Structure 1
């Protein structure tokens, strides 16, 4: 038995060593391709995906080592066969002669079809291992619809395609698996994930967390507010709400609990804040780059219009955190590092962020901007003695970047199946017609249905995949009702984020609950309450001019004011307090005023704002009076 266990450990060590070498090599290859762009899309994308799939089968075995030695060795043998099959099939696809268009008329050969089927099946298996079974089920359902669509009722029927036609469309073109979602994941997203990995290994992540505590730690509920600020700084760079939750939460959640927050409150705060990082410029996670590809709008423009909504979201979260601290009677941290000291030690870590923001706003290629950011963070780290990184740490960054990209590339490849089936069968138009009929043609109803669909999809899909699937199905419904193209995509993008904080399956909240040692469901409820901005702000995007357009500055400013009023009204009515406790009638008035801010009439909007201001002013007077009375008693 000991001999078999030793053999298992030896095999595991060897496999992990090979996987580390493959991960480092992938990062080097991606940087080389980003600089030279030597490989065409039909060559580069299959190479990238095959490399990703091989890493998945190396790092996520079919059978865990905790099982019996025989089962583990058997599982590893199957993994090796899968790796060999991926290598053979990908080589066949890369060497396929796309110049000879006879395959479009005569069809694919048996070997061509076999290669394509191997990639489809093993991509789905890799998706199961990295993302979960739900996304596999969704992709398989779409494939079955493409095959058997001709036997369905006429209102949902499609032509019905053969296996050869499906393989040809999804593998031997840039429309399916190797389509736009994978192109974004293999290009700009990978580079920015690598940039985030370098930020972490260089110590920049710790600098942003320390700076957040210096800025907000001394105020009421300090660690919670620091968590929000740190997540805003780190969230968009990490590329994952869950990764951000684990990274910052490991420090902030214990401190919040020590200050007096309940464990589920601490977990909810961290989850809501970390999820918000996905909508915070300059990087905004993978979905924003997909949006640029889908809309044809430059990323620099998407970045600009996202700044105000992102600030409003974090302002909303900070407001809830403050009200929660007031309810619990919490104070700030007694001892915090001076911000001047933190900046003195880590100001150089700000330079790479300033660089990539400037270059993105100047409309440089996002891939080259990401590579420049990677170089900049390494140069910045080497400029100061205390932050210099060694060769092993640099190599660790290359490895971590590749491994962090695995679930993103796999999810985007599988999402390409859904996008491809929608394009091949035309089901997107039918879904749009169904959504319009079900909603009665009202924007309110469509927004509600999209929000529900986003939450359901988010139970099994990563945020980026949920956005891709939802955007191709739901955006046409919004544009038909007069919502602009960019605003429609932004609404869907924001609503797709709710999956991380919405019960019954809230991935970021569940990750935070593990750190806080509390009930995942209670943490999810708290996170959903704190992340109200993900519902409030998309509503304002639809019903006001919150998405800035050139020449609409007045409407944009009005929309910001109305959104702030809406955030305060909803928070006060839910929490039952602003500066002090609110009576029931004030909470009811705030709720009614919130609805008035959504009216298309500015006079009604102004009336609602006046009521909110009056309630806030009266509440301030009461809080001041109660404070004076306490001072007199003491």
Structure 2
């Protein structure tokens, strides 16, 4: 398949650079410094694996050491400024070819500040609420260096928001009555944010240290093992021959890789390198080829088991099991993905495309036979989570062990089968495992720093701002639940342009998710807490392709050689089908399987939700079997409304059982299908 790809080395290099900047930082040192950060990342991965197997430590110790590793890597990998500095004496601020002495010193001091709660654990515990002078100095320094680390890794948005909340905590008494807050003392602020588990060392950082790291490490090892190319080839062999096949293969491949990667840009670069040129080859315009890849890569974060690393934090915040979160998220995630399959088919139909020929495609059984071992660790992970229901960290750890064993022997087995050097194969396996461990540590830096920095905002909110925020949102929305949802969605999109998914979710979950539940309750409308959390999570993910900042769109447009803003806009238009789902499951909690038991009823709800999503896609694309007429478009929108809100329709027409509403929607869908089939049979319809 690779031989058929059109040459676009420049675009691939640009996309790869964006991915590396996101995951590895901007600095590429030489000499002995070249091995410094990889060695630290390797030690970090080994430490996390030890926690999952034999090492027992207090939760606070684990969180502090986790943050210390992250800060150490940040200040060694990311220069103070992204641009080069020409001023004599200040060139180190933008130095990218070596690690300056100042950054080494800052890395050491930041690490010690993160570990201070461990170093003087007993003393701090005995001074709760009465911090010493040293406690105050170290606590303030930790907040400052953490915000600086966040600025270097993920940009200024999160530090600015955290600084604004910090300022509000101190200057609240001087605000207008509408925004007035009693304020806090410096001692209380430092105690809350830096010296307890209510701020920086709170739940988000704890989940990052205990669970998220192992899943990110699992994804990194899978990538180094070569599973990415296997998923792409497998998807292409299954779907490439159909109309618009490369786009359908992109959907499947990105869904498979997105399950474990948790990064939109990584998905784009991993799968888009192959699928975007092939989509262009069969007739997709460059902009649409890139936009489809962005849409599927962004939606990859919706897919269990990782869900952009937020699934585990949702479980902690909502106080339910991880499997309950996966259960609630399953129908919207899979319905959104199936609808994207349908959307690619509609685009292919509009453009009159063909699929790839058999000669252009890899053979399914050959691909499956050569890469089935990549599926085994994923099956082990799913088995551990679903059958014995082990904790997510234990399940991920055991899956990593199985994957490491496969990586160790896979090259040796191939060497024995084809007459190669088995010992050399084992050495290559060891090299791949080490690379995967290093990559896992480096990939976790952004998540660890983001969760810790978001903890500052969470800590300030728990100082007493929670009720005030609820009142502010209630005032802005005038108590209207629909306006409140719209405000929350827009805030999530805007914040998500500058924040990674996990940090955006933490901030919005702290600020708006409880307010959604509370204000809805004031109006006599019950919103389950899991629905409110998934609502802000969905819109945080959609920010990844929202212009003008969506980095996934920039990476895809570099490969496709399309305009990044136009690509982002097109991708967002494709993702409208995803954006409508959170508004629907707030009012139709059956989509989240809240209170729904058994097997047949969930499958029925899922099938009807998919029909509603297909109808909505047809309406937004103005195409079903052919171009839709205005009355067909209205019927399709009616189908979508009935399927997404069956209870509303049942109440409107007086049906006792709202599940019967689905049958009405299905009948209308078949009516549109019949109308278009009749038109398609008329002379001249095909030409039109």
- The answer to whether the Cα contact below 8 Å between 2:384 and 2:395 also exists between their aligned partners in 1 is yes
Deviation at 1:13, TM superposition (A): 3.3
Partner in structure 2 of residue 547 of structure 1: 592
For 1:18-167, list aligned pairs within 5 A: 18-63=36-81, 67-68=85-86, 71-73=90-92, 76-98=100-122, 101-105=125-129, 107-167=130-190
SS of residue matched to 2:121: coil
1:381/1:50 Cα in 2 relative to 1: closer, same or farther (>3 Å)? closer
- 1:476 CA drift (Å): 2.2
TM-score in terms of structure 1 length: 0.92
Q: Determine the structure 2 residue equivalent to 1:355.
A: 380
Q: Secondary structure at the match of 1:297?
A: coil
Classify the secondary structure of the residue corresponding to 1:155. Answer: helix
1:461 and 1:63, CA in 2 relative to 1: closer, same or farther beyond 3 A? closer
1:276 to 2:324 alignment: no
Instruction: Map residues 308-323 of structure 1 onto 2, 5 A cutoff.
Output: 308-323=331-346
CA distance in 1: counterparts of 2:506 and 2:234, whole angstroms: 35
- The answer to whether the 8 A contact 2:41-2:73 is kept is yes
Instruction: Give the Cα–Cα distance (whole angstroms) in 2 for the partners of residues 434 and 585 of structure 1.
Output: 42
Q: Distance in 2 between matches of 1:437 and 1:152?
A: 17
- Number of the residue aligned with 1:455: 493
The whole-number CA distance in structure 1 between the counterparts of 2:148 and 2:504 is 19
1:267-289 deviation line (CA, Å, top 9, x unaligned): 11111101111111223221111
Task: Say whether residues 1:618 and 2:670 are aligned partners.
Answer: no
1:517 equivalent to 2:561? Answer yes
- Aligned-residue offset at 1:34: 2.2
Q: Classify the secondary structure of the residue corresponding to 1:546.
A: helix
- How far the C-alpha of 1:584 sits from its partner, in A, is 2.6
Cα 1:88/1:477, change in 2 over 3 Å: closer
Give the alignment partner of residue 339 of structure 1, picking from 341, 357, 364: 364
How far the C-alpha of 1:243 sits from its partner, in A, is 1.4
Q: Distance in 2 between matches of 1:542 and 1:168?
A: 37
Tell me, yes or no, if structure 1 residue 379 matches structure 2 residue 405: yes
Instruction: Compare 19-28 and 389-398 and name the one that shifted more.
Output: 389-398
Corresponding residue for 2:286?
263
**Offset of residue 627 of structure 1:** 9.0
**Distance in 1 of aligned mates of 2:649 and 2:289:** 40
Paired residue secondary structure (1:44): helix
Deviations, residues 171-192 of structure 1 (Å, cap 9, x unaligned): 1100101101111112211111
Q: TM-score, normalised by structure 2?
A: 0.85
CA distance in 1, matches of 2:458, 2:346: 43
1:421 to 460, 480, 487: 460
Is the CA contact 1:63–1:71 (under 8 Å) kept in the aligned structure 2? no
Task: Pick closer, same or farther for the CA change 1:315–1:627 going to 2, 3 Å.
Answer: farther
How far off its partner does 1:550 sit? 4.9
- Work out which of the residue numbers 415, 431, 434 in structure 2 matches 1:395: 434
Q: 1:382 to 1:600 in 2, by over 3 A?
A: same
Aligned Cα root-mean-square deviation (Å): 2.4
Q: Is 1:298–1:363's contact at 8 Å kept on the other side of the alignment?
A: no
Partner of 2:198: 175
Does 438-447 or 553-562 show the bigger shift? Answer: 553-562
- Offset, 1:307: 2.5
Q: Distance in 1 between matches of 2:362 and 2:684?
A: 30
Paired with 1:16 and 1:629, the residues of 2 have a C-alpha distance of 62
Partner of 1:365: 391
Query: Quick one: distance in 2 between partners of 1:438 and 1:609?
Result: 39
Cα gap change, 1:70 to 1:260, in 2 (>3 Å)? farther
Q: Deviations over 1:201-236 (max 9, x none)?
A: 111111111111011111111111111100110102
Contact conserved, 2:248 with 2:341, CA < 8 A, in 1?
A: yes
- Residue 46 of structure 1: how far off its partner (Å): 1.4
CA contact (8 A) 2:85 2:92 kept: no
What is the CA distance between 1:42 and its match in structure 2? 2.2
- 1:473 maps to 511
SS in 1 for 2:178: coil
- Once residues 10 and 460 of structure 1 are traced to their aligned partners in structure 2, the CA distance between those partners, rounded to angstroms, is 24
CA 537–148 in structure 1, closer or farther in 2 if over 3 Å, else same: same
Separation (CA, whole Å) in 2 of partners of 1:474 and 1:190? 27
- Residue 420 of structure 2: aligned partner: none
TM-superposed CA distance for 1:419, in Å, is 0.7
1:568 aligns with 2:614: yes
Q: Distance in 2 between matches of 1:230 and 1:10?
A: 31
Deviation, structure 1 residue 47: 1.5
Contact between 2:68 and 2:115, CA under 8 Å: does it hold in 1? no
User: The residue matched to 2:305 in structure 1 has which SS?
Assistant: coil
Residues matched between the structures, number: 621
The one of 631, 636, 640 equivalent to 1:594 is 640
The runs of 5 or more residues in structure 2 that have no matched partner are 1-26, 415-424, 654-660
Looking at structure 1, the residues matched to 374 and 642 of structure 2 have their Cα atoms a distance apart, in angstroms, of: 45
The answer on 1:581 being equivalent to 2:627 is yes
Bigger Cα displacement from structure 2, 160-169 vs 548-557? 548-557
Does structure 2 retain, via aligned residues, the 8 Å contact 1:351–1:380? no
Task: Give the distance between the partners of 1:65 and 1:72, measured in 2 at CA.
Answer: 10
Structure 1 residue 23: Cα displacement = 0.9
Match among 461, 464, 470 for residue 502 of structure 2: 464
1:494 to 529, 538, 545: 538
Partner of 2:244: 221
Cα deviations by residue, 1:278-310 (Å, 9 ceiling, x for unpaired): 111223221111001111111122223332222
CA contact (8 A) 1:593 1:608 kept: yes
Taking the aligned partners of 1:615 and 1:567, their CA distance within structure 2 comes to 15
More displaced, 54-63 or 68-77?
68-77
Following superposition of structure 1 onto structure 2, how do residues 319-330 of structure 1 map, counting pairs within 5 Å?
A: 319-330=342-353
Q: Is the 8 A contact 1:299 1:363 kept in 2?
A: no
CA 1:473–1:555: 2 relative to 1, 3 Å: farther
* 534-543 or 126-135, larger mean C-alpha shift: 534-543
- Residues 187-196 or 504-513, more deviating: 504-513
* Alpha-carbon distance, 1:607 to partner: 4.4
Pairwise CA distance, 1:72: 3.7
Gaps of 5+ in 1: 1-8
Partner of 1:5: none
Residues 16, 59 of structure 1: 8 Å contact kept: no
Structure 1 pair 429/616, CA: closer, same or farther in 2 (3 Å)?
A: farther
Say yes or no: does 1:15 pair with 2:41. no
